[in-house]
Every structure is written in C-alpha cells, then in structure tokens.
Structure 1
Amino acid sequence: MLDSVKISRRQSEIRKELATLAGKEKPTEDEQRSMQDLDREYVTNEMRYSAALIAEDTERREAGEELETRSDKDWSEMMGRFEMRQVALLLDEGRKLDGATDEIVSELRSQGGYRGVPVPWEALEMRAGETTSDGTPNPMRTAPIIDRLFADSAATRMGGRMINVGVGEVEYPVTTSAVSAGWVGGEGQDAPGPFAYTTLDRPMKPDNTLGITMKITRKALKQSGAGLEQAVRRDMNGAISEALDKAVFQGSGAAGEPTGLLAGAAGWGITETSIGAAASYAAFRAAAVRFMTANAASGPGAVNLLLRPELFDGMDDDLIAGTAISEWDRLVAKLGKVNMSSNALPVPVGDPAESVAVMTTTVGGVPPFFVASWGAVDLIRDPYSDAASGGLRLTALTTVDLTVSRSVQTEILTGLQ
C-alpha cells in the first residue's frame, strides 16, 4: 500500500477520535492528554502526507516513462511467442490455446467480432530459426518445407504505408487552400487577403474483404510437425501480400476489389501522361522535372519508379550512338529507386506492345498512398469439406482499403512501348 494512502487513513481515524473527545463537556486529564497527542500527530502526518505525495508522483512519472518505452517492445516480444500451430490444432482437434497465443486471441476478440480465430498481422511475419524438429527417432528426416514463389511487395518499395484500423472509418485531410503571401501596397493599407484555408478528405472504408482458402492435408499435419508453423505462416503471408500488391495498383474498384492507383487516377486527380513512344530516359526525366516544379520532390533522387520487366529489356538494349551506355543505365543513375514488378502492373498489350509505369515521391515524411487493414486476420475453419480425408481447410479473411495522400505525389505514364 502507498504511504500516502496509509497516512490518509490514519488521519481519518484521528479525526474520528478527536470528534469523539471534543463532544465531551468535561474531559478527564487522560482524555485531554490524548487530544494533545492526537493533535500533534495530525499536524505531523500532514507534513508526511505532502512529502509522500511528492515522492510518489516522481515514482509514477518514472514508471510511466518506462511503460511508454516498454509497451511496444513487450508487444513485439509477445507476438514473437504467438504460434500458428496452436490455431491449427484448435480448429482441427479442438485443443485449447495456452500461453501468449491464448492471451493475444482473447485480447483481439474483446476488440472486434470474429467468426473464427483472430490472427494478428504480426504473427504472419517470417521468423528465422524455426525448422522441423528432428528429436524423434525416424529413419527419414523431413527437411524444412520449400516455399513457393511470391512477388516481392512493390507497394512498400514505392513508398506506400500500411496502417491498421481498429474499428470504423479513417480519413486523411489534405490541405487544398489557396492561402498566399502578398506585399502591403503602402502605408496604412491592408495586407492581402483574407484567404480561406480548406482541406480535402481522403477517406478509407472497410468495404473490401480479401479471402484466402488453404487446405492442409492429413499428411502435412503429421509429417511436418513444428515446421508446418513456419510454412503456413509464410504461405499465407505471401498470398496476402501478392494479392494486396496487385490490388494497390490494378484494383478495379468493383467485384469486391479496392480501387487501385491506375483505375482511380482520374478520381484522385493523379496526373496521367501518355508517351506513345519507346520508353526512354528522357520520358522519365521529364516526369521527374514535373515533380520538382510542383514542389513534390527536391531532385530526381527523391523519385521512385515502378515499371514492367519488359521495359527494362527494351531500354537496356537501346544503346546511345557511339557508346556502351544504354537508356537503362542513364535512368538508374539519376532516379532514386527504379523498381520492377510483373505482379503489380498489367501485362503490355497492343502492337507494338505498350505498358504503363508509376512514379511516386514522399514529401515531408508523408507517403504517396496509404493501405489500411481493419483489425486482425480472421482465420476460420471449415469442418465439413475435408472431414472424410482428415484434412484441415482454413479460410483467412482480412478487410483492406486504399487512398492517396496528395495526388501531386504520384504520376502515371502510359503508352510506353
């Protein structure tokens, strides 16, 4: 118990005793001495109470600072102990969760409704050092599972930021005011203005749900042991990342998909420039100059570029006359980050084949676009479809949406041959 609380309680007892003694018309000598002793103790306790409050306030501040700096680390450590294997066994056999996994699932359930088992996004991170256990005698040692190939995240490489929303909607207000400075025309004249300060809202809504269905056979459950933990985690993480990455750029805004940068360019006010010629360093340089003149980039090194591998093939083969330097060499030497993806951008079409490219920049720490996810991944078991074979069928559902921050931070180039 805190010293201040102990002193406060004793002061209350002293007041009660003094009230009882003060009500007597003719107190005895013992009662008079008792009143004097209680009065002195009360005055002393008042000074002790003030000192205790000062000391405890300092302790609270120090403890609060420690908790503020420790909370993120403790959360990360707890997430590191989350086991997908326990979730699979719960859905397959009904085995109870325990340890950090049980605590995390209980906390997520208290914050939102889930039909299945909520799985935090951090649990889908790939962890090093987890391999198939070889402690059980077995004439054949099962090696770690070889993963299938997934596309690397182009959204992250292009400066996008992933945020997590608990419940409800979220919006980002962007300044669109025409506030400007002006010189006062002369003595006694007013300053120019006033000018209205206005903002434009960029909302994100939980209207788009991404689903992944995974069938784990009985052989996989029995053969892989603890190695299944890491394999399922990586496979689910890769599938979600690949689908999200494609939706960020190519999402149609229909059939459950969020509106991607290419389809939503007109609505967001993103500049679209038609090249209609072979991809060249000059075309991308001109776009970088447009970023700089719009105060969106301080130089070509602050601009990110995303294009198809086919454009790399053509530009690297296009040598400048009399040199061994290609258009591609000039491009990568001047722009900040040149990225390639066959997943994020659509396949070139037409004759000659034409492709698109996306250029972005980050201004003042503000990313060009945001990708929001709501809550955790909802992992649901289908107990009927594979009951006859003893398999386990899982469905992972997650709700996501996309919005841009400032349209001037993104430009789309079309017609690149």
Structure 2
Amino acid sequence: MLESVKIQRRQSEIRQSLAELVAKPEPTEDETRSMDTLDKEYRANETRYRAALIAEDEERRDAKGELETRSDREWSELMGRFEMRQVALALDEGRKLDGPTAEIVEELRERGGYRGVPVPWEALEVRAGETIASGTPDPIQTRPIIDRLFPDSVASRMGAQMISIDHGEIEWPVVTQGASVGWQASETGAVGSPQAFQTTDKALAPDQTLGVQMKITRKTLKQSGSALEQAVRRDMNSAMAVEMDRVVFLGSGSSGEPLGVIAGAATYGITDTDLGAAPTWSAFRSAVVRFMLANAAGSPSAVRLMLRPEVWDAMDASYIDAGTAVTEWDRLAKNVSTIAMTTNGLATPTGTPAASKALLTTNAGGVAPIFVGKWGAVDLIRDPFTDAASGGLRITALATLDVTVARPKQLEVVSGIQ
C-alpha cells in the first residue's frame, strides 16, 4: 500500500477520535492530554503526507512506461497459458474448463456469440518448449498478431496487417482529393481556387467465413497433454495459414472467398503491367521507379517483392556478362531487401511460353498495403457422431475473414513474366 494512503487512513482515524473527545462537555485530564497528542500527530502527518505525494509522483513518472504496457503484457502472458488440450477434451468428454483457459473462453463469449468453444487466434501459435520431460508449458514471448499467428506467412512478409474486429464492419476513409497550393500572380490576385476535401471508404465486412475441419482419433485424445497440444496447433495452424495466404492474393471474390489483391487488381485499381518478356532487374527496376514516382516508396529498399521460384530460377541462370559471375538475380537481391518466394500466393505459370506474375508492395506513411480483417475468435464446433464407431472426434473451426486494399498505389502487379 502507498505511504500516502496509509497516512490518509491514520488522519481519518485521528479526526474521528478528536470528534468523540471534543463532544464531551467536561473532558478528563487524560482526555485533554490525548487531544493534545492527537493534534500534534495530525499536524506532523500533514507534513509527511505532502512529502509522500512528492516521492510517489516521482515513482509514478519512473514507472510510467511499465504501467502503460503492463495490461498488454499480462494479457499476452495469460494467452500463453491457454491450453488447446482442454478445449479438445471439453468437446469430446464434456470436461469442465479451468484456469486461464476458462477465463479466456468466458471473456470471449461475453464479446460475441459462438456455437462451440471460442479459441483466441494467439492460441494457434506453435509454441516452443511444450514437449519437455516434465510436460510444463514454456511458451515463447508473444509478438504482433500477424507474426504470432503465422511467422512464415507470405502475407506478413509482404506487409499485410491483420485487424481484430469484435463485430460489425470497419472502414478506413482514404483521402482522394485535398488541399490545393498556388502562388499569388499579382499583388491583388488570388492564390488559387480551393477544391473539396474528398475521401473514399475502404471497408472490411464479415461476409466470408473460412472453415477448417480436423479429425482427432481416440489414440490422440489419450496421448500426453503436450503431444495433443502440439498436434492440434500444428494441424490448424498449417491449414489456416496456407488458405489465408492464398486468398489474400488469389481469392476469387466469389463462392464465399474474399477478393484477393492479385485476382482483383482491376477492382482495387492496382496497376498491372504486362512484361511480356524474360525477367530482368531492369524490368523490376522500372516497377520500383513507378512506385517512387507515385510517392509510395522513397527507395528500392522500401519495396517488397513476391514472385514464384521459377522466376528466381530463370534470373539466377541469366548472367549480365559472360565474363562475370553476376546474375540478374544478384542485381535484384542487392537492391530489393525483402523478396518472398511462394507457390501458394501466386498461380502456376500458364501459356506458351509459360508466364507468371509478381507483386510489389510498400508501406507508405505507416499504412499497410493490405488489410486482413478477422472477426472475434476461432469458433470450434464438435461432431462426436460421424466417427463414433472408432471413438474419434471431428472438429470444425470457423473463422470470419476479409481482405481489402487501402491505397492501390502501394501495390503493383507485374504479369507476363516468361
């Protein structure tokens, strides 16, 4: 307890005692001496109280940073103790949740409705240290959500930001027209005509739901806790990571899928340049220059590039000069700091000759090029009947997601890479 609070409480006790003594019409000598003693203590405490406030104010300033981050850190540490095996056993046997797992599930239920058991996205993290002999979980320190979910996600490497939404829709007003500038041509002339401040809304809507189904056998359910923990996390993590990476870039916008940034480049207003030739550094350099001319990137190092392994193969086999060992890939890797290769986020090359696509993105002014919205937590629903004959359990995980682009100038598609 703070010293100032202790002093305040003592002062309140002194005032109460003095009030009782003063109310007596003829106090005894002992009561008179007691009043004198209490009065001296009260005045001394006033000085101590002011000193305590000054000292505690300095302590508060010193601890300000810790106090501001303590709640987030405590929540992350609580998430680190969430046990997927408790959820699996609750769905299979009806076992009661307890500890941090029960606390987290209860809080998630208060925020939204779930048919099954809500599982926080942070729980899908594949944790280190949970297969040691003692079986005591030792999770790694949590990180930002997009990295914590899928550390090797291509979407995260391309700068996509995951947005947590409790319910409803969320939108970002993006400025399309603003202030105008101009010089006064004459002493009495105007400095130019003003133009209206205009924005366009970029919305995320809970219209697309991703379903992940898994089968947990009776043997798995009877295994040790850490083994089940890792198996469930690993299975859900990989399945959701692969599909989310795909739809962020290649989502069709139909059949329940959100519209991906490459498949929906025309809809989002993203520039799509047809290279129609073999990949070279000069071709990608031209795309980087277009970024810089659009004020989206300040240097080549600010650009992120995503391409297929076939493009790397072609560029690494193309030498600048027969007398040197420098390839087109060497020049590209030297200038572009972040290059992500994927077979999931980009479609397989087609045509004759086979042609692929590439995507360039950049963060401008702290704004991510791609937003991925997720609503609430992952909803786990049990099906104990389908595999009842073998004693197994089927689980369906439902996650509501959407994708949008804030500013199309922060992205560019290069197609026709032969």
Task: State if a TM-score over 0.5 links the two structures.
Answer: yes
1:352 counterpart letter in structure 2? P
Pairs within 5 Å for 1:156-305: 156-305=156-305
Q: 1:336 is matched with which residue? A: 337
Assess, with a 3 A threshold, how the Cα gap between structure 1 residues 223 and 10 changes in structure 2: closer, same or farther: closer
Correspondences of 1:105-144 after superposition (within 5 Å): 105-131=105-131, 133=133
The corresponding residue for 2:385 is: 384
**Structure-2 residue corresponding to 1:363:** 364
Change (3 A) 1:132 1:381: farther
56-65 or 288-297, larger mean C-alpha shift: 56-65
CA distance in 1, matches of 2:61, 2:92: 47
Residue of structure 1 in register with 2:139 after alignment: none
Q: Secondary structure at the match of 2:390?
A: coil
Which residue does 1:78 correspond to in 2?
A: 78
1:321 Cα shift?
3.8
Determine helix, strand or coil for the equivalent of 1:203. Answer: strand
- After TM superposition, the structure 1 stretch with the greater mean CA deviation from structure 2, 91-100 or 181-190, is 181-190
Q: Bigger shift: 83-92 or 180-189? A: 180-189
How far does the alpha carbon of each residue in 1:339-388 deviate from its partner, in whole angstroms, 9 at most, with x for none?
Answer: 21001111111111111110111112211111111111111111211122
Q: Is the 8 A contact 1:218 1:389 kept in 2?
A: yes
- Between the aligned partners of 2:9 and 2:321, the Cα distance in structure 1 is 89
For 2:388, what is the secondary structure of its paired residue? coil
1:284 partner letter: F
Change in Cα spacing, 1:392 to 1:320, as seen in structure 2 (3 Å) is same
Residues 321 and 215 (structure 1), Cα distance of their counterparts in 2 relative to 1, 3 Å cut: same
Shift of 1:57: 9.6
Which residue of the partner structure matches residue 314 of structure 1?
314
Q: Which moved more, 1:307-316 or 1:63-72?
A: 63-72
**How far apart are the structure 2 equivalents of 1:271 and 1:226?**
48
2:154–2:245 CA contact under 8 A, matched in 1:
yes
- CA 192–57 in structure 1, closer or farther in 2 if over 3 Å, else same: farther
1:395 corresponding residue in structure 2: 396
- Structure 1 residue 264 displacement after superposition: 1.9
2:200 & 2:14 partners in 1: Cα distance?
Answer: 59
The residue that corresponds to 1:142 in the other structure is none
- Check the 8 A contact 2:180/2:194 in 1, yes or no: no
Secondary structure at the counterpart of residue 379 of structure 2:
strand
Matched, 1:89 2:89: yes
- Deviations along 1:112-147, one digit per CA (max 9) or x if unpaired, are 101111111111111111117589xxxxxxxxxxxx
What percent identity do the matched residue pairs reach?
56
Please show how residues 26-37 of structure 1 align to structure 2 within 5 Å: none
Moved more, 242-251 or 333-342: 333-342
The alpha-carbon deviation at position 90 of structure 1 amounts to: 0.5
Cα separation, 1, equivalents of 2:242 and 2:81: 26
CA RMSD of aligned residues (A): 3.4
Aligned to 1:388, the other structure's residue is in SS state helix
Aligned equivalents of 2:300, 2:60: Cα separation in 1:
50
How many residues in Structure 1 have an aligned counterpart in Structure 2?
398
Contact in 2 for aligned 1:247/1:258 (Cα 8 Å): yes
CA distance in 2, matches of 1:10, 1:389: 71
- Kept in 2, the 8 Å contact 1:132–1:227? The answer is no
Read off the aligned partner of 2:390 and give its amino acid letter: S
How far off its partner does 1:275 sit? 1.2
Matching residue of 1:373 = 374
| TM-score normalised by length of structure 1 | 0.83
Distance change in 2, residues 1:62/1:96 (3 Å): farther
CA deviation profile, 1:298-354 (whole Å, cap 9, x unmatched) = 111111111111111222222234233222222112222222100111111111111
Runs (5+) with no aligned partner, structure 1 = 22-26, 136-149
Q: Does the 8 Å contact 2:210/2:399 carry over to 1? A: yes
Residue 410 of structure 1: aligned partner: 411
Q: Which residue is 1:145 aligned to?
A: none
Mark the CA change 1:55 to 1:263 in structure 2 (over 3 Å): closer, same or farther: same
Q: 2:397 is aligned with what amino acid?
A: A
Partner Cα separation in structure 2 for residue 71 and residue 406 of structure 1:
33
Q: 2-side partners of 1:407 and 1:239: how far apart?
A: 29
Q: Which amino acid aligns with 1:341?
A: T
Deviation of 1:56 after TM superposition, in Å, equals 12
CA change 1:389–1:62 in 2 (3 A) is: same
1:8 Cα deviation after fit? 11
